[in-house]
């Protein structure tokens, strides 16, 4: 351990003496004193001990930036949720008001039954999983003394952290098996709502792809109707016809864009689930793999039980019928385990015999 160099301390004293008035005159406001103390603490933390590295220096310098981002994200979470609800509702309204009458008038009974059944099933799955992902608590470690095993102590909460637990700066507390903080949910994605989040992303992607594929011909017709330059007088279009064409274009562009972006995110999370790790653990496991490789060893994720077992545990599949009742239908079943204790070291046999 070594203290801050004398030159830095001397610089801090000079700045303090020149910027602060003498006692007996106007005192510095309390908020300014706290900011000054905070900056002083940041500077001193850079030189406090021999364990200081580039990560510590980076975190200390950019701490105000991180705090600002967390603050903005925390307060704009409600705006993002409202945006999701408004955009999704607009697509649903267009589907009922514009597309459904066209389907009923042009498609065969078999295709009508397919579109009505699949569309409503997909809509129910999206609404259910989004609501559950946003309203379900991700899970928090206990703040009172208990016998739960832990691997470290949170430097911000000053409470024991079980395995796979991380601190969220936006929620300002530790989260069990934290994956990330999702501003579109205004909630953390953790142990108890991770399945809801992934299912929402999956079914929203399927819904967007469904709208994009089934509405492609309608989009081309609407686009040509608005953009085609006629040599002869253009056919008469009423205001209603123009609004219908613009609505179809808006729906196709929005669903296609969201389908590509959200589809990539869903595939990425599917890969992580297959590996038995979260977004945060992906980075830590990568660093640990490199560290072990330098020593000539191979790192194995202690929370991975094989691709199929990882999916069974994640989805809560305990028997064959659960693929239908818990995966393809809305289900509010709890995840496997309590999020505080984990079975280490992968085993060869199926954890959940199916």
Contact 165, 178 (CB under 8 A): yes
- In sequence order, which residues have a C-beta less than 8 Å from that of residue 27 and are 6 or more positions away? 21
SS3 call for 148: coil
Per the structure block, which two tokens stand in for 64? 């105000």
Is the pLDDT at 305 greater than 70? The verdict is yes
Alpha-carbon separation of residue 96 from 120, 141, 253, 331 (angstroms): 11, 45, 18, 26
Per the structure block, which two tokens stand in for 281? 């653990």
| Average pLDDT of the segment spanning 328-350 | 77
Residue 88's domain comprises 66-144+147-328
Is the pLDDT at 212 greater than 50? The verdict is yes
Is the pLDDT at 67 greater than 90? The verdict is no
Name the domain count of the chain: 1
| Predicted confidence band of residue 130 (pLDDT cuts 50, 70, 90) | very high
Among 144, 188, 195, residue whose Cα is nearest residue 168: 188
Distance from C-alpha of 338 to C-alpha of 148, rounded to nearest angstrom? 11
Is the pLDDT at 340 greater than 80? The verdict is yes
| Predicted confidence band of residue 49 (pLDDT cuts 50, 70, 90) | low
Poorest-pLDDT segment among 83-87, 182-186, 219-223, 345-349: 345-349
Whether residue 115 lies inside any domain: the answer is yes
| Predicted confidence band of residue 74 (pLDDT cuts 50, 70, 90) | confident
Is the pLDDT at 51 greater than 70? The verdict is no
pLDDT at 102: 86
**234 against 202, higher pLDDT:** 202
Whether residue 21 lies inside any domain: the answer is no
Whether residue 321 lies inside any domain: the answer is yes
Among 139, 134, 274, residue whose Cα is nearest residue 200: 134
Is the pLDDT at 4 greater than 90? The verdict is no
Whether residue 44 lies inside any domain: the answer is no
pLDDT at 106: 86
| DSSP per position, 167-189 | EETTTTEEETT--EEETTTTEEE
**183 against 241, higher pLDDT:** 183
pLDDT at 2: 44
pLDDT at 229: 53
Is the pLDDT at 232 greater than 90? The verdict is no
222-226: long-range contacts at Cβ-Cβ below 8 A with a sequence spacing of 24 or more? 222/246, 222/248, 222/249, 223/249
- SS3 labels along 38-50: HHHHHHHHCCCCC
pLDDT in tens, 144-197: 877 888 888 888 888 889 999 999 988 888 999 999 999 999 999 999 999 999
Poorest-pLDDT segment among 54-63, 91-100, 107-116, 295-304: 54-63
pLDDT at 77: 86
Is the pLDDT at 143 greater than 60? The verdict is yes
Q: Which of 182, 188, 201, 208 is catalytic?
A: 182
Share of the chain above pLDDT 70, in %: 82
- For the chain, give percent helix, strand, coil, nearest 5: 60, 5, 35
Helix and strand tally (H, E) in the chain? 12, 6
Distance from C-alpha of 348 to C-alpha of 197, rounded to nearest angstrom? 29
Q: Is 82 a catalytic residue?
A: no
Alpha-carbon separation of residue 20 from 23, 26, 31, 43 (angstroms): 9, 9, 14, 18
Whether residue 1 lies inside any domain: the answer is no
| Average pLDDT of the segment spanning 53-71 | 72
**61 against 185, higher pLDDT:** 185
Q: What are phi and psi of 153, to 5 degrees?
A: -120, 130
Whether residue 276 lies inside any domain: the answer is yes
Poorest-pLDDT segment among 124-128, 205-209, 234-238, 240-244: 234-238
| DSSP per position, 30-80 | HHHHHHHHHHHHHHHHTTS-TT--HHHHHHHHTHHHHHHHHHHHHHHHHHH
Distance from C-alpha of 130 to C-alpha of 167, rounded to nearest angstrom? 23
Whether residue 338 lies inside any domain: the answer is no
Whether residue 340 lies inside any domain: the answer is no
pLDDT averaged over every residue in the chain: 84
């Amino acid at each position: 351990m070594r203290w801050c160099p004398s030159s830095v301390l001397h610089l801090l004293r000079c700045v303090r003496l020149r910027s602060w008035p003498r006692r007996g005159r106007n005192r510095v406001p309390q908020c300014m004193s706290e900011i000054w103390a905070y900056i002083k603490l940041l500077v001193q933390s850079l030189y406090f001990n021999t364990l200081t590295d580039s990560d510590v220096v980076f975190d200390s310098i950019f701490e105000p930036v991180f705090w600002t981002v967390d603050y903005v994200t925390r307060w704009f979470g409600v705006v993002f949720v409202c945006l999701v609800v408004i955009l999704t509702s607009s697509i649903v309204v267009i589907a009922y008001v514009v597309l459904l009458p066209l389907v009923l008038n042009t498609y065969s009974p078999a295709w009508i039954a397919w579109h009505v059944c699949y569309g409503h099933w997909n809509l129910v799955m999206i609404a259910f999983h989004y609501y559950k992902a946003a309203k379900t608590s991700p899970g928090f470690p206990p703040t009172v003394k208990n016998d739960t095993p832990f691997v470290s102590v949170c430097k911000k909460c000053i409470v024991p952290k079980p395995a796979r637990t991380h601190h969220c700066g936006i929620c300002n507390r530790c989260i069990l098996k934290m994956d990330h903080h999702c501003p579109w949910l205004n909630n953390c994605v953790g142990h108890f709502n991770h399945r809801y989040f992934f299912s929402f992303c999956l079914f929203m992607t399927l819904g967007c792809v469904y709208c994009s594929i089934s509405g492609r011909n309608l989009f081309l017709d609407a686009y040509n109707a608005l953009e085609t330059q006629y040599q002869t007088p253009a056919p008469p279009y009423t205001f209603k016809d123009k609004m219908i064409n613009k609505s179809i274009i808006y729906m196709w562009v929005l669903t296609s864009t969201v389908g590509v972006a959200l589809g990539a995110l869903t595939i990425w999370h599917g890969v992580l689930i297959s590996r038995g790790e979260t977004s945060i653990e992906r980075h830590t496991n990568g660093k640990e793999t490199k560290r072990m490789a330098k020593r000539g060893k191979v790192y194995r994720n202690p929370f991975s039980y094989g691709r199929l077992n990882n999916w069974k545990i994640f989805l809560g599949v305990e028997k064959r019928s659960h693929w239908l009742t818990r995966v393809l239908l809305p289900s509010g079943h709890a995840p496997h385990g309590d999020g505080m204790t984990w079975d280490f070291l992968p085993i060869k046999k199926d954890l959940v015999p199916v």
